[in-house]
Amino acid sequence: MNQILPQAEELLLTLKQLMPTIYQQETLESLLGLFLSGKGNGVPHHCPTKSESAISRFLNYYNWSTRSVIRTIRAYILNFILSQPIQGRKPILQVILDLTTLEKVGKFPHLNNLVRVYNHKKGLHIVVMYLVIGNWRFPWSFRIYRGKGTASPSQLAQKLLNNLPSVLTKAFQIYVLGDTAFGTIKLINKIRHQNSFQALVGIPRTRKLQDGRKVSEVRTRGQQVYLNGLSIPVFLSWVWLKRDGKRVQRFIISTKQMKGKTIARWGKRRWQIEGFFKTVKHCFSLHRFGQKTLLGVYRWLILSFVSYLLSYWVYLHLGNYDNLDWFSSAQQALILLLPHILLLSLLNQLEAVRPWLNELGFDFSLMRCKI
């Protein structure tokens, strides 16, 4: 774990080197500093070290390679995962799939109707793949849902699974977790036909079995059943959740034979991604994009995920595993990784209040301390 902070520093340096000019390097640092404020209100005009127009040009128009940034981030994540010692049998890698809405109001004609209403929510709808290994978690990739007549969330999930590196599928047992949107016949077959892959996904209580019953009529947890349209057997269980003060039953199937309680325990782990969505939105400003191009939106989302990753690595570096405070981790990441951005931000704030201080008879100046 002592090597985590150097990895974070090296990742940040590598990302800077991908920028064609020093000006773009500075803008990248300023934008990451904005995300790492940890307040969830990281819109460009709140950036204290770069203008809103500079950030807009950087995201929407400047010619830096978004693909290279993505490849670099993934390479560092893989290096972190595979550098950890593995003893005994293959560990389990949880691949959690879910769709989240980055809610928006108003019109976004420049985004080609990607901001739309789906499931009674208006916004940009993205399918995210989130990796969990023990206590470690990493956002890996995402796809934007483009609406009716295009690839469904389940089909987008298939594409995300296709891009999971073979080095991971060889080193780990893969448990794919998802809600009812990812319990389709095609996706279950896709998962089951890949080596080391198992599916634990939600299904509606009205889903039919081959014998004509609904899954809600099954009374024994862990029972082997055949879903209508699926040739392979699956194993059924359920969990009880509290929703709006009421107990709600949610059904889960597993392609691997397990006890009913074990299936339920794994099924509950799907909700880990909900905590991730809450954090990356309300701490790292994922939903605060306002760019004029789809490229700008993609870049905003990617750099928000980067800020989450840097904060998480700083949290691991500090070793306070009993108390994951994302705001504190973001602030510590800003201090340790981008101290000059923090200093510039503080100086700009002081300059903003200088006239008021002068009226009160105060002034300030900076002096270099001799060490």
Total-model pTM: 0.90
CA 226 to centroid of chain Cα atoms: 33
- Residue 31 near residue 56 (C-beta atoms within 8 A): no
Query: Three-state DSSP class for 351?
Result: helix
- Would you state the structure tokens that stand for residue 76, as one six-digit string? 């560092």
| pLDDT tens, residue order, the chain (371 aa) | 557 899 999 999 999 999 999 999 999 999 999 999 988 888 888 888 899 999 999 999 999 999 999 999 999 999 988 887 777 788 999 999 999 999 988 888 888 778 889 988 999 999 999 999 988 899 999 999 998 889 999 999 999 999 999 999 999 999 999 999 999 999 999 998 887 899 999 999 999 999 999 999 999 999 999 999 999 999 999 999 888 888 999 999 999 999 999 999 999 999 899 999 999 999 999 998 887 789 999 999 999 999 999 999 999 998 876 778 899 999 999 999 999 988 877 777 776 777 877 877 877 776 666 65
Who contacts 170 (Cβ-Cβ below 8 Å, separation ≥6)?
Answer: 196
Helix intervals (H) in 193-293: 260-268, 272-282
User: In terms of Cα–Cα distance, which of 78, 58, 87 is closest to 7?
Assistant: 78
Domain 86-291 listed as CATH 3.90.350.10: yes
Q: How far apart are CA 316 and CA 314, in angstroms?
A: 5
Q: Break the chain into its structural domains and give their ranges.
A: 86-291
Residues, the chain: 371
- Residue 177 near residue 270 (C-beta atoms within 8 A): yes
